[in-house]
């Protein structure tokens, strides 16, 4: 553990910190950790993931285990999804919701076994999330464990990632693991959980390991990919990759002021559940229709839209940019914004206030990038 630039705020280091230093990464404070923001450069790392594969240290993320006789009822109460219905080993993207139907956080939920779950939460929210879960556990017979500090997480993403993991994986066929499923085994001889998930819009795995085993696994994956142009990638590339895939980021695109329906994430809601936090608010909003919605846009003039900039509809301020950047794989500036529902149709012309200059934009379909489909053999 280190301090910040002033030397008075504790900042954690992941078990891969020395690997990043040795690889020449630029290290920045992020969510209480010293994290690599880039190595060679954001665009180079972004394109490597799109074309080959990239390796990310995401050990700053939070991992909570929930188990006990009341675990099924508890996870179904704190989330709008029916997580108890997931088959063992299946994963769901979902959220933790407030009474207003807004987001405490978005999560990946893993059904590990009988009355046994794992939630993976955002790094910046993990202390808040764990306290929030504990505050709602009264009346449920559950045990909550925060395993974040003892768990390392490596994301290996890109079209080559699964094929490069396969020879290193033991105890299962890495190429046979379905999307959004979990497998248990070993990676280069070390115990690991392999999650067929990611935050880039590409194929790959997110791999859970002990802190002690993470450096060995990191080296093994980089070595396996060295001849194929695989690179380590930082937070900068991770952000532009997830934006091209239109994946929301907590604090930008969703938060405790934005509802599930406004965010366009209705698919996480099981409307037939009789009880979950935010149910009444979301039912009322579904009936009336949300007044605003998250949309994707392309910038049609010179300039890059950034988080927090005003969106103008018919010349009047009417919304805000949630996320915006250059899209390296697409060669254009893109973003996601919240606008009135009446102005969210495809092709709708908008303007973005970019540092006092009105830049034209147009509403487009999301995601902005879709990975090419694998070619079928003849």
CATH number at residue 154: 3.30.1360.120
Co-location of 52 and 176 in the same domain:
yes
Across residues 21-36, what is the average pLDDT? 98
Co-location of 166 and 54 in the same domain:
yes
- What is the per-residue pLDDT for 6? 47
Co-location of 231 and 372 in the same domain:
no
In a domain, 211, yes or no: yes
Across residues 339-344, what is the average pLDDT? 97
pLDDT at 10 over 90: no
Contact 25, 39 (CB under 8 A): yes
In a domain, 311, yes or no: yes
Across residues 48-62, what is the average pLDDT? 98
Across residues 258-264, what is the average pLDDT? 98
122: CB partners within 8 A, 6+ apart: 31, 61, 62, 105, 106, 129, 250
Co-location of 194 and 56 in the same domain:
yes
Across residues 277-288, what is the average pLDDT? 98
Residues linked to residue 90 through DSSP beta bridges, in sequence order: 181
- What is the per-residue pLDDT for 4? 47
- What is the per-residue pLDDT for 323? 98
Across residues 129-133, what is the average pLDDT? 98
Q: How many domains does the chain have?
A: 2
Domain that holds residue 43: 2-60+150-244
Co-location of 306 and 367 in the same domain:
yes
Across residues 235-247, what is the average pLDDT? 98
> 3-state DSSP call for residue 266?
helix
pLDDT at 376 over 50: no
Contact 129, 140 (CB under 8 A): no
pLDDT at 9 over 80: no
Contact 36, 16 (CB under 8 A): no
Structure tokens at 4: 């910040």
- Please, what is the average pLDDT of the chain? 96
Question: To the nearest whole percent, how much of the chain has pLDDT over 70?
Answer: 96
Q: Which of 244, 275, 307 is the last residue of a domain?
A: 244
DSSP per-residue string spanning 294-348: EEEEEE-SSS---TT-EEEETTEEEEEEEEEEEETTTTEEEEEEEEEGGG-STT-
pLDDT at 5 over 60: no
- What is the per-residue pLDDT for 370? 95
> 3-state DSSP call for residue 375?
coil
pLDDT at 2 over 60: no
Structure tokens at 90: 């299946």
Co-location of 217 and 323 in the same domain:
no
Co-location of 237 and 299 in the same domain:
no
CATH number, position 314: 2.40.30.110
pLDDT at 92 over 60: yes
21: CB partners within 8 A, 6+ apart: 27
- What is the per-residue pLDDT for 93? 98
Across residues 217-223, what is the average pLDDT? 98
Contact 237, 26 (CB under 8 A): no
35-66 per-residue burial string, b: 16 or more CB within 10 A, e: under 16: bbbbbbebeebbbbbbebbbbbbbbbbbbbbb
Across residues 23-51, what is the average pLDDT? 98
- What is the per-residue pLDDT for 373? 79
* CA 29, 32, 33, 37 torsion-angle sign: negative
- What is the per-residue pLDDT for 321? 98
Co-location of 231 and 157 in the same domain:
yes
181-202 pLDDT, tens digit per residue, is 999 999 999 999 999 999 999 9
In a domain, 91, yes or no: no
Structure tokens at 23: 């690889």
pTM score: 0.95
Query: What is d(CA 366, CA 362) in angstroms, rounded to the nearest whole number?
Result: 12
């Amino acid at each position: 553990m280190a301090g910040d630039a002033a030397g008075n705020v504790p900042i954690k280091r992941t078990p891969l910190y020395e690997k990043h230093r040795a690889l020449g990464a630029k290290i920045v404070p992020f969510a209480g950790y010293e994290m690599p923001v880039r190595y060679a450069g954001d665009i180079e790392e972004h394109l490597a993931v799109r074309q080959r594969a990239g390796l990310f240290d995401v050990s700053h993320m939070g991992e909570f285990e929930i188990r006990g006789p009341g675990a099924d009822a508890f996870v179904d109460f704190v989330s709008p999804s029916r997580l108890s219905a997931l088959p063992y080993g299946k994963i769901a993207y979902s959220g933790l919701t407030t009474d207003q139907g807004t987001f405490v956080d978005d999560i990946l939920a893993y059904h590990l076994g009988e009355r046994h779950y794992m939630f993976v939460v955002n790094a910046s929210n993990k202390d808040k999330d764990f306290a929030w879960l504990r505050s709602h556990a009264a009346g449920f017979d559950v045990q909550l464990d925060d395993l974040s500090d003892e768990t390392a997480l490596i994301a290996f993403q890109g079209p080559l990632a699964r094929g490069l993991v396969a020879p290193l994986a033991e105890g299962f066929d890495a190429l046979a693991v379905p999307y959004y499923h979990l497998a248990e085994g070993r990676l280069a001889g070390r115990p690991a959980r392999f999650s067929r998930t990611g935050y880039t819009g590409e194929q790959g795995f997110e791999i859970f390991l002990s802190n002690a085993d993470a450096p060995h696994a990191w080296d093994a994956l980089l070595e396996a990919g060295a001849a194929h142009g695989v690179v380590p990638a930082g937070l900068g590339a991770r952000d532009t990759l997830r934006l091209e895939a239109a994946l929301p980021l907590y604090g930008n695109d969703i938060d405790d002021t934005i509802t599930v329906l406004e965010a366009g994430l209705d698919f996480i809601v099981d409307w037939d559940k009789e009880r979950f936090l935010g149910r009444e608010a979301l039912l009322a909003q579904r009936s009336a229709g949300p007044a605003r919605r998250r949309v994707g846009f392309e910038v049609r003039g010179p300039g890059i839209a950034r988080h927090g900039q005003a969106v103008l509809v018919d010349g009047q301020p009417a919304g805000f940019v949630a996320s915006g950047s250059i899209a390296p794989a697409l060669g254009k500036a893109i973003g996601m914004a919240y606008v009135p529902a009446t102005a969210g149709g495809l092709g709708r012309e908008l303007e973005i206030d970019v540092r006092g200059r009105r830049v034209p934009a147009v509403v487009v379909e999301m995601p902005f990038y879709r990975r090419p489909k694998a070619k079928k053999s003849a």
